[in-house]
Amino acid sequence: MNIIFASQNAGKIAEIRAKLPSYTIEGLNAEEFPDELLETGSTLDANALQKARQVFKKTGKNCFADDTGLEVEALDGAPGVYSARYAGEQKSSEDNMTMLLGELDGKANRKARFRTVVALIWEGEEYTFEGICEGRITTSRSGAEGFGYDPIFQPEGNETTFAQMTMEQKSIMSHRGRAVEKLVEFLKLHTK
C-alpha cells in the first residue's frame, strides 16, 4: 500500500520506512512540491496537520506529516515548535545546538523531552498520534548518527546520545518511533 510522508528529510523518511516495512512510503516529490511546506501554526499539532492538508489537497492521496519539538524544562519548553529554526531561518542544526548549549551553560537542570505529533489524513479523515521521549541535554556534542539535536540529546536511562545510536536503536525509544507505532496500529486496523 502506498502512502505519502509529507517530508523531504531523508533521515526522517528512512526512520519511517524502517517502522512501516509493509508499506511503500513515498517522500515528497521535489518537482511536485518545489517549495517547503508551510508551518505557520503555534503548536506541533497545528503544523503537522497543516503539512498533511497541503499534501492531501494537492494529491488527494492518503498521507501523513509530522512535527517535532525539543522541549527544555529550564527554558520553559523552548525551543518547542520553533526547534528547526531556533537559531534562525537558515535552519542550521549546528547553529541550533550551539545556541541551546549556550543558553544552558551553567544550568543544573538539563531535563528535556522530544515530542512528535504525526497527523494522518486517511480516506479524507484526519487523525493525530503523539510520541514523547524524555531525556536530558548533554554539555557537548557526541556521535555522528541521526540529525537535528541528536548529538546533544541523551534519552532517559541511557549513557549515549541519539547520535551515538544506530537508527534501529534510536527508533525503539524515540519520540518519532513512538508516534509512528501508534500510526502503524491504526493502519493495521484500517487496512485488513
Q: Is 67 annotated as catalytic? A: yes
CA pseudo-torsion sign 156, 162, 168, 174? positive
Give the largest CA-CA distance in the chain: 54
Of 153, 144, 143, the closest CA to residue 173 belongs to 153
Backbone angles phi, psi at 10, to 5 degrees: -60, -35
Is the CB of residue 69 less than 8 Å from the CB of residue 47? Answer: no
Which of the following is catalytic: 35, 45, 66, 67? 67
Is the CB of residue 135 less than 8 Å from the CB of residue 154? Answer: yes
Catalytic residues: 67
